[in-house]
Structure 1
Amino acid sequence: MATTKELSVEEKLRALYDLQLIDSRIDEIRNVRGELPLEVEDLEDEVAGLSTRLEKLKSDLETIEEQIKEKKNAIEGHKESIKKYTKQQESVRNNREFNSLTKEVEFQELEIQLAEKHIKEMKASIEHKKEVISQSKEKLEAKSSHLKHKKSELDAIMSETEKEENFLSEKSEEFQAQIEERLLVAYNRIRSSVRNGLAVVSIERGASAGSFFTIPPQTQMEIASRKKVITDEHSGRILVDAALAEEEREKMEQLFAKI
């Protein structure tokens, strides 16, 4: 990113450390939220899935009940046919016609038995589906209640932190604009490769913050001179002297206090 004015090495180090302090503050805010946004998203997906399944079960239930009605209507139709064929048997002219009508009656009786068997099976299916619907409703209610609680929790955190995060994100962009692209790329690369997101650290008790590796006195003097950007040979982090770090921390604390 191009800058309007060439910064001195010290100004670059200050801008980098300020950016680190701002980004670390944003990290803290996001850590407070933790896994809540993902939990809410997962719960929303679960609730949507359970609702869809419940609607499908209800639809299946309606379909089966409609099929039972059709079977009952069919049984009535078969009974009417039996009456008709039995009536016709009274006026047959020969045994052949009588036997033919008897077979028709038997066929209609078999159709009734089959329909009754299907109705029995469908009623059993209805009972099973009603049980599954009841369980699904309970699960949906529990998940919906849990989702409501988690959303409320997330909303409370968001309402407390959203203003601060937006302000800090704008400040982060402002400071990034001051830093030359080469350094910014290095900063982002280091930041993304370390667990705590610290790409710029100060020297504390002769070692880089969070490290046990002692920095040679000559290197410490070079860092304190602020004449060039120096990285820790063990962690790859950009190093600043303790005095500069303290000055920038005080400056950033005043900035954060205004939010």
Structure 2
Amino acid sequence: MANTKELSVEEKLRAIYALQLIDSKIDEIRNVRGELPLEVEDLEDEVAGLTKRLEKLNEDLGSIDHQIKEKKNNIDDFKTSIKKYSEQQKNVRNNREFNSLSKEIEFQELEIQLAEKHIKEMKASYENKKEVVAQTKEKLDSKQNHLKHKKAELSDIMAETEKDENFLSEKSKEYREKIEERLLNAYDRIRGSVRNGLAVVSIERGASAGSFFTIPPQTQMEIAGRKKILTDEHSGRILVDSVLADEEREKMEKLFAKM
């Protein structure tokens, strides 16, 4: 909510420039953290993905192992059947019964061969999957270790900067409440559209700070007069004179020294 007290143009310019200095200081703090929070987030996603993959691979190994045991049990059953049919052949009454049992024995032997073939294939698959498990585990361990270090790094930076950022955020809020809504909206819009976040700049050597475009002498005099809020026609930034800027910077340096 903007302050109901009507500020003079100069007071508005001082408040908006002070707000810029505070917000730029917050930007500096956040730049120290840089891409670290995103790096941590990406690593957490990678670790979660690899963990899930490892779980699935281990499930697959368990499933293959179970299937191999089942095939071995089937082979035992086939051998039992062969033994039973071989015993029955000793007591047959004719060739037809003997041949019928021989076919059953032959069928069980084929089933054994097929089961042994499947076991061989599954064992090869099991060994291949074990290699993938080892590689995945190695990669997961590496990512977890990397994540641990990055989290510690971020934690250290947060511990160093969080207090300062909170202090500055409170000050930013205080100054925002002094500024009328229309001017504040313009400030936020400009700040969001420029790379360095500078919505308010001072006149340095006849040009707006950070710009190569010269400000006409008449406009410079109007800016120094502090009777109206003027913007740089090239960048759209709000302009203040260098004397006002120096005075506000000095005030803010004292404020920042309290952090």
Q: TM-score range by the shorter chain?
A: over 0.9
Equivalent residue number for residue 125 of structure 1: 125
- Separation (CA, whole Å) in 2 of partners of 1:115 and 1:173: 75
Equivalent residue number for residue 155 of structure 1: 155
- Separation (CA, whole Å) in 2 of partners of 1:185 and 1:96: 101
One-letter amino acid matched to 2:134: S
- Separation (CA, whole Å) in 1 of partners of 2:128 and 2:175: 64
One-letter amino acid matched to 2:83: K
User: Quick check: 1:225 aligned with 2:225?
Assistant: yes
- Separation (CA, whole Å) in 2 of partners of 1:220 and 1:185: 24
Q: CA deviation at 1:144?
A: 1.1
Note the 1:59-98 alignment, pairs <5 A: 59-98=59-98
- Separation (CA, whole Å) in 2 of partners of 1:175 and 1:115: 80
- Separation (CA, whole Å) in 1 of partners of 2:166 and 2:98: 93
Unmatched tracts of structure 2, length 5 or more: none
Q: CA deviation at 1:242?
A: 0.7
User: Quick check: 1:239 aligned with 2:243?
Assistant: no
- Separation (CA, whole Å) in 1 of partners of 2:30 and 2:63: 49
Identity of aligned residues (%): 80
Q: CA deviation at 1:115?
A: 0.5
One-letter amino acid matched to 2:207: A
> RMSD of aligned C-alpha atoms?
0.9
Please, what TM-score do these two structures have when normalized by structure 2?
0.98
Q: What SS does the corresponding residue of 2:112 show, helix, strand or coil?
A: helix
Once the two structures are overlaid, the 10-residue window that deviates more, 237-246 or 93-102, is 93-102
Once the two structures are overlaid, the 10-residue window that deviates more, 26-35 or 2-11, is 2-11
One-letter amino acid matched to 1:204: E
Aligned length: 259
- Separation (CA, whole Å) in 1 of partners of 2:213 and 2:105: 99
Q: CA deviation at 1:2?
A: 3.6
- Separation (CA, whole Å) in 2 of partners of 1:171 and 1:62: 60
One-letter amino acid matched to 2:178: Q
Moved runs in structure 1, 4+ residues, more than 4 A? none
- Separation (CA, whole Å) in 1 of partners of 2:14 and 2:77: 92
- Separation (CA, whole Å) in 2 of partners of 1:131 and 1:111: 30
Q: What SS does the corresponding residue of 2:4 show, helix, strand or coil?
A: coil
Q: What SS does the corresponding residue of 2:239 show, helix, strand or coil?
A: strand
Residues 201, 209 of structure 2: 8 Å contact kept: yes
Note the 1:102-251 alignment, pairs <5 A: 102-251=102-251
- Separation (CA, whole Å) in 1 of partners of 2:258 and 2:167: 10
Unmatched tracts of structure 1, length 5 or more: none
One-letter amino acid matched to 1:27: D
- Separation (CA, whole Å) in 1 of partners of 2:213 and 2:59: 68
Q: CA deviation at 1:249?
A: 0.6
Equivalent residue number for residue 49 of structure 2: 49
